[in-house]
Amino acid sequence: MTDYSSLLTTIPGVKHGFGNKSALLPAPLQPFRSTLPEKKQVHGTRIVDVHQPAQPCGEADGFFTREPGILISVLTADCLPVIFSRRDGSAIGAVHAGWRGLLDGILEQMAKRIRLEDETANWVASIGPAAGACCYQVNEELITRFQQELPFSPELISPTHRHLDLAAIAQAKLKALGFAAVDHAGSCTICTLNHDPELPQHFKYTSYRRNSHRREQDPSHPGIKGRNQYSGIIITG
Ligand SMILES: [Zn+2]
């Protein structure tokens, strides 16, 4: 089952979805695949204005458009996809935010882009499936960096020893940036099981972390290249 945001579902004239192993690109977005911008995600903070279908965007981790008929999306496998829409459906955005992007301020860059001619209070955001606080263990230094650099409680950043809560951090940032509403779609990419008996996959999502562990035990196990899930949104008018 593809994950959808209840917030974005209520917005007129836009289609969106968060992919998983059984549908990397959600079915409602598949007819628009050829309009996807060409880009290389680099865990950076650059946001590109998209004006043309299949626009070459270079290295970029965030996309913004007011143009109907252009699908914008980010590819993830444990990193956090965040999809944005103006409440009237007249403008949309998408960002790829791993821990690096969150620390370096990609959500702030998207807010800055919106504020060039608008207010974030006219926008909503939806946080998609990513490595959850249940599974996302990192080193102590990284937890400390987050706790020192961000103005949130240590428990919000790390509810369990050495586990990072990417979604809670993103949500706190989006609220602080003035977005009208924020919701969550999907669940942990590392541990969520697939409950559809028709499908052969054991896990619901592609996970970089889980795949890396498998490859450590069995170097012949395939990598995740070409298997990242798309989170996307398009103005259909
Ligand atoms: Zn988990």
- The percent of residues in the chain predicted with pLDDT above 70, rounded, is 100
* C-alpha to C-alpha distance for 167 and 173, rounded to whole angstroms: 10
Quick check: 7 pLDDT over 90?
yes
Evaluate whether 14 touches 85 at the Cβ level (below 8 Å): yes
Residue 68 Cα to ligand 1 midpoint, Å, equals 36
Evaluate whether 166 touches 131 at the Cβ level (below 8 Å): yes
Residue 13 Cα to ligand 1 midpoint, Å, equals 33
- 37 φ/ψ angles, rounded to the nearest 5 degrees: -60, 150
Assign 15 a pLDDT band (cuts: 50, 70, 90). Answer: very high
* C-alpha to C-alpha distance for 229 and 27, rounded to whole angstroms: 12
Residue 235 Cα to ligand 1 midpoint, Å, equals 32
Residue 126 Cα to ligand 1 midpoint, Å, equals 19
Residue 189 Cα to ligand 1 midpoint, Å, equals 7
- The percent of residues in the chain predicted with pLDDT above 90, rounded, is 95
* C-alpha to C-alpha distance for 44 and 105, rounded to whole angstroms: 9
Residue 187 Cα to ligand 1 midpoint, Å, equals 8
pLDDT at 174: 98
Residue 165 Cα to ligand 1 midpoint, Å, equals 11
Residue 136 Cα to ligand 1 midpoint, Å, equals 7
The pLDDT of 16-23, averaged and rounded, is 96
A 10 A CB-CB count for 99 gives 20
SS (H, E, C) 130-197: CCCCCCCECCHHHHHHHHHHCCCCHHHHCCECCECCHHHHHHHHHHHCCCCEEEECCCCCCCCECCCC
Helices (H) and strands (E) in the chain, counts: 7, 11
Residue 23 Cα to ligand 1 midpoint, Å, equals 20
Q: What single letter denotes the amino acid at residue 24?
A: L
Fold entry, domain 6-235: CNF1/YfiH-like putative cysteine hydrolases (3.60.140)
- Mind listing the pLDDT tens digit for each residue in 23-73? 999 999 999 999 999 999 999 999 999 999 999 999 999 999 999 999 999
Quick check: 147 pLDDT over 90?
yes
pLDDT at 215: 94
**Strands 47-49 and 62-65, sheet pairing:** parallel
The pLDDT of 69-94, averaged and rounded, is 98
Residue 190 Cα to ligand 1 midpoint, Å, equals 5
Q: Where are the chain's structural domains?
A: 6-235
pLDDT at 57: 97
Residue 131 Cα to ligand 1 midpoint, Å, equals 6
Residue 93 Cα to ligand 1 midpoint, Å, equals 27
Q: What single letter denotes the amino acid at residue 180?
A: A
The pLDDT of 78-83, averaged and rounded, is 98
- Share the mean pLDDT of the chain: 96
pLDDT at 197: 76
- Mind listing the pLDDT tens digit for each residue in 188-213? 999 999 987 777 778 999 999 999 99
Assign 122 a pLDDT band (cuts: 50, 70, 90). Answer: very high
Residue 221 Cα to ligand 1 midpoint, Å, equals 21
Assign 84 a pLDDT band (cuts: 50, 70, 90). Answer: very high
